[in-house]
Amino acid sequence: MAPRPGDAPVVFDEFVLARSSSLLRTAYLLTHDHALAEDLLQTALAKAWFAWERIDQHEAYVRRILVTTYATWWRRRWNGEHPTDELPETGGPHPPGPTDPGDAVGQRHDLWSAMERLPRRQRAVVVLRYFEDLTEAQTAQVLGCSVGTVKSQASKAFAKLRIDPSLAPVPSTTSVTETEDRS
């Protein structure tokens, strides 16, 4: 039985209720900004609504809209510095120790800073594969590329993340002479 024109909004509404939190998470991982993520998801859902009856795989279609819309927004956004009169406060003279609870927050911030420096396609691959736990084939379908492209973009992204200075290990504050004195 063919769907009636009045049936599509009900199915769409159910989809939005069931999947919007997951899709919002994807949008947030792409934008790293709550307000932009909500705008991105709303825009993607609005675009999907117009083609809803023609779509077979609704979630993959909406995720693809999220990624492509994010890419067009990213191209338009200015990624420059934001001048300020005051320097940000530092955590103190020494780097946080392994038991410092602020250390995890700092590492998370460093990861997001590094992720923001990735090219948009590499960032999308990392978000979809490792934060959203999609398979390589699902990621390729969402991005409209081959599985090989997903693999190569992930490899390039991790190579860039490995050499990112904000993710470099913090050197130990214990000097060699202090270690020898303890012996």
* Candidate ranges 27-36, 37-46, 84-93; pick with highest mean pLDDT: 37-46
pLDDT at 163: 87
Q: Say how far apart CA 12 and CA 37 lie, in whole Å.
A: 20
Nearest 5 degrees, angle CA 34-CA 18-CA 154? Answer: 60
Mean pLDDT of 110-119: 84
Higher-confidence residue of 150 and 164: namely 150
pLDDT at 131 over 90: no
**Residues of the chain with pLDDT > 90: what percent?**
38
Mean pLDDT of 164-181: 61
Taking the domain 103-169, which CATH number applies?
1.10.10.10
Higher-confidence residue of 87 and 62: namely 62
Torsion of Cα atoms, 155 then 74 then 109 then 24, to 10°: -90
pLDDT at 28: 92
pLDDT at 1 over 80: no
pLDDT at 66: 93
How many Cβ atoms sit within 10 Å of the Cβ of residue 69? 18
Please classify residue 122 by burial: count the beta carbons closer than 10 Å to its beta carbon, then call 0-12 exposed, 13-18 middle and 19+ buried: buried
Helical ranges in the chain per DSSP H: 7-31, 34-50, 58-76, 101-116, 120-126, 136-143, 147-163, 176-182
pLDDT at 99: 47
**Residues of the chain with pLDDT > 70: what percent?**
67
For the chain, which residues make up each domain, given as ranges? 14-76, 103-169
The average confidence (pLDDT) of the chain is 78
pLDDT at 32: 85
Q: Say how far apart CA 22 and CA 10 lie, in whole Å.
A: 19
Nearest 5 degrees, angle CA 168-CA 169-CA 171? Answer: 120
Looking at 4-13, 50-59, 142-151, 162-171, which range is the least confident one? 4-13
DSSP 8-state secondary structure symbol assigned to residue 175? -
pLDDT at 165: 82
Task: Provide the CATH topology of domain 14-76.
Answer: Rna Polymerase Sigma Factor; Chain: A (1.10.1740)
Write the CB contacts of 57 (distance below 8 Å, at least 6 apart in sequence). Answer: 141
Tell me whether domains 14-76 and 103-169 share a fold: no
